[in-house]
Amino acid sequence: MKILAFAGSNREESWNWKLVRVAARLAREAGAQVTVPPPEVLNLPMVNEDLVAREGYPEAARRWKSLLVNHQGFLIASPEYNGFFTPLLKNALDWASIKEHPEEPSLQAFRGKVAALMATSPGSLGGLRGLLMLRIQLENLKVLVLPQQVSVPYAPRVLDKEGNLTDTRRLEALRRMVQEFLELLRKLHG
Ligand SMILES: Cc1cc2nc3c(=O)[nH]c(=O)nc-3n(C[C@H](O)[C@H](O)[C@H](O)COP(=O)(O)O)c2cc1C
């Protein structure tokens, strides 16, 4: 049972990468095997079917998709852009939904997988609205999304330089969510 933890941000000092690393740490403390890839893995060309027809499926997209294929659980944090999750994350999910070969099983990166969602932002809602959209997107891709989710408002006040989440109420909510996520994964994947 392997878990991939990633965030939908390409900012160097991304709050959401910090938050997802906290969740990854909690999952490891609970005994899970967690991969946190370098943020650049989501930096892919804009999906373009003509590009695929002309040049084939991009190597960077192949690397990203195989990461998803090789993990059963996803811990995902995404910034909220105008009430939505980011175009960076949408693009990366779209690439992984495209078959490289006709015989490839459909949605093999997603089908039967489990995801837990979180968000943070400098604002008072903590990116909460974007998570609803991300949930719909993942369910369209046949991912089972945990009902619980965590949003963390006022990111610069509560995520410190050492990568700690100092909002103890939110930290406990995150810990509970990670536990529920791991329990569900164990039930489904052993
Ligand atoms: C185009 C754009 C739209 C944004 N819209 C929202 C928003 O709807 N809600 C919100 O809380 N923050 C919004 N923000 C601010 C982000 O929450 C902030 O930039 C945050 O640091 C991004 O997450 P990151 O640090 O993980 O990259 C927006 C930022 C951008 C660039």
Over range 41-59, report the average pLDDT.
97
CATH number, domain containing residue 54: 3.40.50.360
Q: Is 115 helix (H, G, I), strand (E, B) or coil?
A: strand
Instruction: State the Cα–Cα distance between residues 52 and 50, nearest whole angstrom.
Output: 5
Give the closest residue to 80 by CA, choosing from 37, 43, 126.
Answer: 126
Structural domain total, the chain:
1
- Condensed to tens digits (0 to 9), the pLDDT of residues 2-14 reads 999 999 999 999 9
Residue 190 reports pLDDT greater than 90: no
125: CA distance to ligand 1 center in Å? 11
- Condensed to tens digits (0 to 9), the pLDDT of residues 121-171 reads 999 999 999 999 999 999 999 999 999 999 999 999 999 999 999 999 999
Residue with CA closest to ligand 1 atom 30: 81
Pocket test for ligand 1, best of 121, 128, 157 (most atoms within 8 A of CB): 121
* Boundaries of domain holding 62: 2-189
What predicted TM-score, i.e. pTM, was given to this entire model?
A: 0.98
Residue 1 reports pLDDT greater than 90: no
Q: What pLDDT sits at residue 162? A: 94
Residue with CA closest to ligand 1 atom 5: 81
115: CA distance to ligand 1 center in Å? 22
